Every structure is written in structure tokens, then in C-alpha cells.
Structure 1
Amino acid sequence: MSCAAPFIKRSGELKLTHHYSLEFAKQVLTELKTRSTPEVLEFILTSDVLLDAASRGVFEIVDLFLKHYPELMWDENFARKLKIKVVEGRHIDLFRLVNADDPIRYLAKKNEMNFVLMGAVAKWSSRCETADVSGAAFLLQRELQWFQAAEASDPSYKWMKFLEDKKSYWEVFAEEREQLLKEAGQWMKDTSSSCSLVATLIITIAFAATFTVPGGNDSYKGIPIFLKEGSFIVFAVADAFALFSSVTATLMFLAILTSRYAIEDFLYSLPRKMILGLTFLFLSLAFMLVAFGSTLTIVLNEQFKWIYIPIMLLAAFPAILFAFLQLPLYVEMVESTYRPRLYRPLKLRK
């Protein structure tokens, strides 16, 4: 408890500092409202306060300034600098904010803005390694999403030349992330190999259980003795689903292992295969435990009528533990692949 107390104290102090800093900014803007708007706008545009807040990812300050002075986005030079700072820092919520505030007047100069953004996205720096992304594969996927967002208006931009360089934006982007691509590919291979091993073991168990049914078979007709028991039906169905799910999971992981590992594959193809593989792996594990629990119920039910209660509890524990350990990774992968925050529009403020 003594070790946790300083951490809790520091967290409280940081939250308190953040709260009072925001309140101070509100008081400053309230005071500035008493002065003429052109004078205040000139002060904000020349002081770089807002650009510094955007570079550091302070969403509340940027949102507060734009809420009080939406005219700031009418300055083309400032809007360009603001978007560059946001993209260079890979601040997703700020990117959604400035896009929501991006007025229709920029349609005439949309091409110029896209070239600027693609230049900021193509280059790699340590600031691209955001804390909300775990693992090289997710980081590479996030970088690809940033590039896709920058070229959203016209996909042909990716093959245009990067300033005076002879290479295109896409070539510069891929070249800057060669090491990240190797790390992401290695992570995919290691994860797929480990999961496919587990799925193969489940296949072996489920396949063997098909021919060694609980209670055995009738010596004359070969029909299972407990065929008419409800628990046996549960066992048969669960074992079949466990076998089919584990086979499907193995095929998904084999598809990952035999992929070409091109940089484009990390945007949708490989993450989708990994999601399907993990989904069917979890299902196969759950069905295997159900089959095991139903087998014990068949064998012990005659002696212990209450045995199904502890069996259900014990069988549920590994499934819950697996879900608890793998769920954060799974949720992050699903959200990053099928519903990335970068593509979600931010509602305009009233």
C-alpha cells in the first residue's frame, strides 16, 4: 500500500493541475473577450500558444480556443500549420477536431492542403510511436490509416513526387518504415505460430473424443450407450463445434504464416485474419470445455447429482481467464481494424 500511495498522489496532483490549467485558460479567454476581436486574433496567431498546445496534443485547449474564436480557421497559413502540428504528433482526436472545423472555403485549396498533410504523414519520427498503440503491427496499421486519411480526397496523390525528391509519397512512406515492417511481420508470425499450436492441440483432443465417447459403445450395434441422455447430446454438439472451430482457426493462422507480409497487408488483410483466428480459437476452447464438462456429468451424475454445479464453475474458469488475458488485445484489434477513431467524424459543436 505504501508503494501505491505515491502513485495515487501523483495522479491526483496531475489531474488537479490539468483542471486548474483549463480553468485558467477559460478565464484568460473570458478576459480576452472584452477586447476587440481582431486584436485578440492577432495575438493568438502570433503567439504560437495554440500551435504549441496542438503539438503537445492538448485537446481541451485547442477545442476551447476554436470554440471561442472559430475565425482562426479562416487564416489559411494558421490552419495549415495547425494541421501539420496535429499530424506530426499523430493526435487523432485533434485531427478529427480540426477536420470538423475545416470549412467549405478550403475546397478550392484542398489539393495544396493534402500535399502538405501527405508530406507530414510520409516522414517517420519518434513522435509517431503513440502510447495508445501496443505492438509494431498495430502501430504500422495506424500509420497506414494516417496515410489513407491524408490521401482520402484523391488516391493518386500517393504516387506523386515528394517535394524535390525523385521518390513518391508512398515510396518515402514505405522506406521510412522498413524496420517497423520487419517488427510487425515478426509479431504476426510469432503470434500465429503460438495460436496455431494451441488450435492443433484442440483439434487432436476433439477428434480423439469423437471415437472415444463417454460410456463407450454398444458391443453389437456400435451405438453409444448414453445416446439418449441429454448430456451426451451436449457433448456431441460441443465436440463437433470445437473441432470445426479449431480447424478454422488453424487455417486462419496458416494463411497469416504464408502471407507475403507486404506493408499494405497490415491495413486490413492480416488484422482481419488474426481477428478471425483468435475468434475461432476462443470458440474452440470454450466448446472443448463444454464437451469436457458434459462428459464428467455423464460419468459422475449417477453417484453425485450435484456434480454439474462445480463442473460448470471449473469449466468456465479457463474460458474466463483466456478472455480476460486476450480481450484487451482482441478489442484493440477489432476497433483498430473495423472502427478506427481516425475515420470517425467529430460532431460540430453548437
Structure 2
Amino acid sequence: MRIYLQGGKEFFCSKFTSKVWFKRILQYLASPIKNIYDMKITHRQAKELVNLSCSIVIGRHDQYAVWAILQSTIFRAIESGISEVIEECILAYPSIIWASDGFYLFHSAISQRQEKIYNLVYQMSSYKTFIASHVNHDTKENALHIAAKLSPPHRLNIINGAALQMQRELQWFKEIETNLVQPACKNAYNKAGKTPRMVFTDAHKDLLKEGQEWMKETASSSTVVATLMVTMAFVVAFAVPGGNKNEGSPVYLDRGAFTLFVISDAIALFSSATSVLMFLGILTSRYAADDFLYTLPKRMTIGLVFLFLSLAATLVAFSATLSLVLQDKVTWIAAPLLVITSIPVGLFGVLQFPLLIKLVYSTYGPSIFHKQNKRMIH
């Protein structure tokens, strides 16, 4: 709708413009919402299909066929990590959990590193008690021996970086060692005469070496940057902008920008020094396998956080210095400086923050092992 004004001018009604923008927003949001709805519908239909298939198979009253079909279905679901299929099969035919001597289900969940299936089966108290002391008759291996082996490549590669991959492997090993197997199983020997710890060391020696190299390269590069920050912040502290008066006090001592400069420089100095110490702690580490679980990721996280803080503080100090020097002649310098200063900080965030988030989440975030469905507890 158009409204004409005197002089031949015209403009679109604001109400019409609002409707157009509202329609565009709805079109933008409609597709993701529809995709989520379709996924939920597909998930529900898949569960109904599994239930119907189980009912048909069980209704044939052929125990051999029931075991063969459901067992094959469960094994495929383990490889794909589809815990819902396993849940429905066990609820429909509980005896299927004892397929392949009752050991294969948990053995496969651990060897395939399928935490959802592990969490699901872990809640079944009677089955968990059986697995805690069960030893495979052929290989003489218990559940901890299985957890000590290297993950399949398709599961290992979902984690970026050898150090984080090593951390995830240790998380699995510690989970089985602490919360599942009995104490006697921790030092039990398999058919090859190896304890679970020996199996873990042999299976992960290449991954451990890659993790060491990744940690050293990252720490070395970051140490160089942090050292430059320390040097620059230390020198600038004694070469204040504007110089000093005859009695030694800074010329711009009474200006607010000078206070900002001093605080920013101090933060940059102490942050970069802390970052250097953390990275040196990584470089001088013994690089034992257990260090990748908590110690090394913690040091890397602290080092990256303080390195980012020192970079931001250094740029703020630089902006405050230029503002002091040029404020009398270039009064509009503050706004461009703010924009320019934010560019390096933003680039550092884009390049390093994904790594930092992964380190924090994998080290301090929620565990991948947790209860997820109360229907399976019995």
C-alpha cells in the first residue's frame, strides 16, 4: 500500500514493510524447524518399525530364528552406535542380551567405543555384575583388556588432534578400570601374558608419540609468541608514552588513558609470563600416558587463555598510547583504534578458540559416561 504526500513524494507504509520482514524471518526459520520436525518423525517411525519387526519375529515362535535375527540386528546396531535399536530389542526379548555367551554385547560396545550403548547396558545391574568378573575363555581377556586396545579408526578420528584422541582413550580405560571390573581383573594376564596396562601401552605407543609431537609443536610455537609479549610488555613499562618530567613522574600521569595504559601493560606482562611458564611446563613434561588425561590438557588450556589475555591487553595498551600521543591533534582517533585493535584479537579467537573449547570441554566438561534411560535398569 502506498501513501502519497504533497509534492508528489511517496513512501511505503511501515506496517507493510514490517510484514515483509516478518515473512522473510519466517521463511528463514521455517526450513530448520521443518528439518527438526522431520527428524523427530523419522526417529519415531523407526522405533515403531523396530517394535513391529520384533513382534513379528517373536510371534513366529521359532527360538532359533528369533536369536539369529535379533542378534544380527543388535550387532549391526552396535557398529553404528544406535542405542535405541538395542533398547527396543532387549525390551521385546530380554534373553537376547545373553547372546554369544553374554559377553559380546558389552565387549563390542567397549571395543567400538560406543558410549551410548555402554551407558545403556551399564544400567542393567545383573548383567553388569556378570561382566565385571567375566573372562573370555579363548583369549583370557576381561573387559579392561578390551578397553586397553586401540579404538577403530572411524571412532578415533571423530576427535581432532592426537593429544585429545589419547585423552579419550584414557577416559575409556579409566572408566572400565574404576567403575566396572573387579580389582583382581586389573592385573590379570591374558593369553599372551599381558596385563591390561601392558596391552594399553603396546596398542597406544604410536598415538602417544603423535600426541607428544603435537603438544611439543603447539607449546613451542606458543612459547615464542608469549616470550615476545613478555619482552614487549616489560620494555614498555619503563618507556611510558610522553616520557617523564624532570622529577621523574610521567607527563600524562593525570590522564585516564594513561591509567588504562598502565593497567593493560601490567595485565599483559603477568599474563604472558604465566603463559610462558605453562608452555614450558608442557615442554619439560615427562609425557607419560596418564599425563594426557588431565595434566597436559590443563596446562595447555591455561597457557592459551593467558596468551589470549596478554594479546588483548597489549593491544589495549597500544591503543591507549596512541590515544595519549595523538588526542590533542586527532580527536577522532579513538573509534578507528577500537576497530583496528579488535581485528587481531578476533583473528586469534577464530584460529585458537576452537582448540581451546575442545580442550576445556573434553577435560572439564560432562563425562561421556552417564545414565540415559531408566527403562533399562533391572
| Same fold, TM-score > 0.5, yes or no | yes
How many angstroms apart in 2 are the aligned matches of 1:185 and 1:242? 29
Per-residue deviation at 1:37? 7.3
- 1:261 and 1:155 map into 2 onto residues whose CA distance is 29
Alpha-carbon distance in structure 1 between the residues aligned to 2:300 and 2:240: 33
Whether contact under 8 Å (1:151, 1:157) holds in the other structure is no
Report the TM-score when normalising by structure 1: 0.84
Tell me how far apart the structure 2 counterparts of residues 318 and 237 of structure 1 sit (CA, whole Å): 20
Letter of the 2:45 partner, please give it.
E
Please list, as runs of the form range in 1=range in 2, the aligned pairs for 1:140-179 lying within 5 A after superposition. 140-153=166-179, 156=183, 159-179=186-206
Structure number with bigger Rg: 2
| 1:238, distance to aligned residue in structure 2 (A) | 0.6
Q: 2:64 and 2:252 mapped to 1: Cα distance?
A: 85
Amino acid at match of 1:50: I
The equivalent position to 2:251 in structure 1, one of 211, 215, 225, is 225
8 Å contact from structure 1 (residues 44, 50) kept in 2:
no
**Offset at 1:141?**
0.9
Write out per-residue CA displacement over residues 27-81 of structure 1, whole angstroms, 9 at most, x where no aligned residue.
2423544776795987554221111111222344334545x53735764757532
**From 290, 294, 310, the counterpart of 1:264:** 290
Aligned residues with identical type, % of pairs: 34
2:229 to 202, 209, 217: 202
CA gap 1:39/1:308 in 2 versus in 1, 3 angstroms = farther
Q: Deviations over 1:284-305 (max 9, x none)?
A: 1111111111111112222233
What letter matches 2:240 in structure 1? V
State the AA in 2 paired with 1:52.
R
Q: What is the aligned partner in structure 1 of residue 109 from structure 2?
A: 86
Tell me how far 1:168 sits from its aligned partner. 0.9
Q: What does residue 52 of structure 1 align with?
A: 76
Unaligned 5+ runs, structure 2: 1-37
**Quick one: which of 48, 72, 91 aligns to 1:26?**
48
Higher mean C-alpha deviation, range 151-160 or range 70-79:
70-79
1:347–1:236 Cα change, 3 Å: farther
* Deviations 1:225-267 (CA, angstroms, capped at 9, x unpaired): 1111111111100100100000000000001111111111111
Conservation of the 8 A alpha-carbon contact between 2:54 and 2:89: no
- Out of 120, 129, 153, the residue aligned to residue 107 of structure 1 is 129
| Distance in 2 between residues matched to 1:139 and 1:201, nearest whole Å | 31
Greater CA deviation, 137-146 or 296-305?
A: 296-305
- With structure 2 as the length reference, what TM-score do the two structures score? 0.78
Equivalent-residue separation in structure 1 for 2:273 and 2:263 (angstroms)? 16
Q: Is the 8 A contact 1:249 1:281 kept in 2?
A: yes
Name the counterpart of 2:211.
184
CA drift of 1:88 comes to: 1.4
Counterpart contact for 1:84–1:120, Cα < 8 Å: yes
Q: Residues 304 and 45 from structure 1, CA distance in 2 versus in 1: closer, same or farther, beyond 3 angstroms? A: farther
Q: Is the 8 A contact 2:278 2:300 kept in 1?
A: yes
The 1:98/1:40 distance shift into structure 2, 3 A limit, reads farther
Structure 1 runs of 4+ aligned residues shifted over 6 Å read 16-19
What SS does structure 2 have at the residue aligned with 1:151?
helix
What is the distance in 2 between the residues matched to 1:233 and 1:17? 56
Structure 2 CA distance for partners of 1:192 and 1:73, relative to 1, 3 Å: farther
* Structure 1 position 22, deviation (Å): 7.2
How many equivalent residue pairs?
335
Q: 1:157 to 1:230 in 2, by over 3 A?
A: farther
**Deviation digits for residues 294-343 of structure 1, max 9, x if unmatched?**
11111222223332111111111111111111111111111111225423
Distance 2:266 2:89 in 1: 60
RMSD: 3.2
